[in-house]
Amino acid sequence: MNKAQLVEAIADKVGGRQQAADAVDAVLDAIVRAVVGGDRVSVTGFGSFEKVDRPARYARNPQTGERVRVKKTSVPRFRAGQGFKDLVSGSKKLPKNDVAVKKAPKGSLSGGASATVKKAAAKKATTAKKATARKTTAAVKKTAAKKTTTAAAKKTATTAKKATAKKTTATAKKVAAKKTTAKKATAKKAPAKKATAKKAPAKKSTARKTTAKKTTAR
């Protein structure tokens, strides 16, 4: 059965072919739009339509046997309801003067508008929560970045201070070493002068001995 035959099959029940065509188009359009939007369309006794995400995977080309990578994609899926399965398997018989699919419970059809409003409100609430979560995440990231920058600045300052202290200490050590070397050199030179001064009297005694020798000879 194609779409035209489906329209003909329900034309007498809805008051004409045009009304049947409009009804079929409206039902299919509503199902397609809901599934594309990520909603699950469930009809009691008939089945449910939903969107399924398939991850990337490898498959084989049936003609060549070559291994091919299949990209991530989303596909529609229909799951038959238990009533539909029972009718197809033959465990239940088709009713002659009633619809095959169970009728909607009383009062459920009148709540369609409120259900739509509830879904819209739920979507808005979810969107608001996601936006709030994103803002919170962004604020946390900014705070972490500030802390990291501050820590890096402190480390740099500490490193600079340590380097300056090391340079100052090294300079002080060099100055102290130079002063110590100068003092040692001065201390070594002073005894040499004293020794020279002590040798001078020895020459005078020699002169005295010579004078004494000359006197004795006379």
Q: What is the pLDDT of residue 193?
A: 46
Rounded mean pLDDT of 8-21? 92
Burial 136-170 (b: 16+ CB within 10 A, else e): eeeeeeeeeeeeeeeeeeeeeeeeeeeeeeeeeee
* 107-165 per-position pLDDT tens digit: 655 554 445 545 656 666 666 677 666 776 677 677 667 776 667 767 776 776 777 77
Q: Is the pTM value of this prediction over 0.85?
A: no
Angstrom distance (rounded) from CA 192 to CA 209? 27
The domain 3-111 is placed in CATH, from the list 3.30.420.10, 3.30.2130.10, 3.20.20.70, 4.10.520.10, at 4.10.520.10
* Residue 21 DSSP SS3: helix
Q: Does 49 have pLDDT greater than 80?
A: yes
Confidence of residue 95 (pLDDT cuts 50, 70, 90): confident
Question: Residue 105's pLDDT band (boundaries 50, 70, 90)?
Answer: low
- Paired tokens of 13: 């029940």
| Closest-CA residue to 42 (of 51, 50, 52) | 50
Task: Compute the distance between CA of residue 182 and CA of residue 198 in angstroms, rounded to an integer.
Answer: 26
Residue 200: its pLDDT value, please?
47
CA distances from 96 to 86, 99, 212 (A): 16, 8, 172
Q: In percent, how much of the chain has pLDDT > 70?
A: 63
Quick one: tokens of 70? 């299949």
Q: Kindly state the DSSP code that residue 72 receives in the 8-state scheme.
A: -
Angle at 6 between CA 4 and CA 8, to 5 degrees: 70
CB atoms within 10 A of CB 123: 13
Across the range 190-209, mean pLDDT stands at 49
DSSP 162-177: HHHHHHHHHHHHHHHH
- Confidence check: pLDDT of 63 > 50: yes
Q: How far apart are CA 194 and CA 188, in angstroms?
A: 11
Region 24-40 average pLDDT: 95
Average pLDDT, the chain: 77
Range of weakest confidence among 43-52, 92-101, 110-119, 169-178: 110-119
What is the distance, to the nearest Å, from the Cα of residue 66 to the centroid of all Cα atoms in its chain?
36
Query: What are the E-state strand segments in 41-172?
Result: 41-43, 47-54, 57-60, 67-70, 73-80
| Higher per-residue pLDDT: 104 or 5 | 5
Average confidence (pLDDT) over 10-16: 90
Domain range list for the chain: 3-111
| Residue 59, SS3 per DSSP | strand
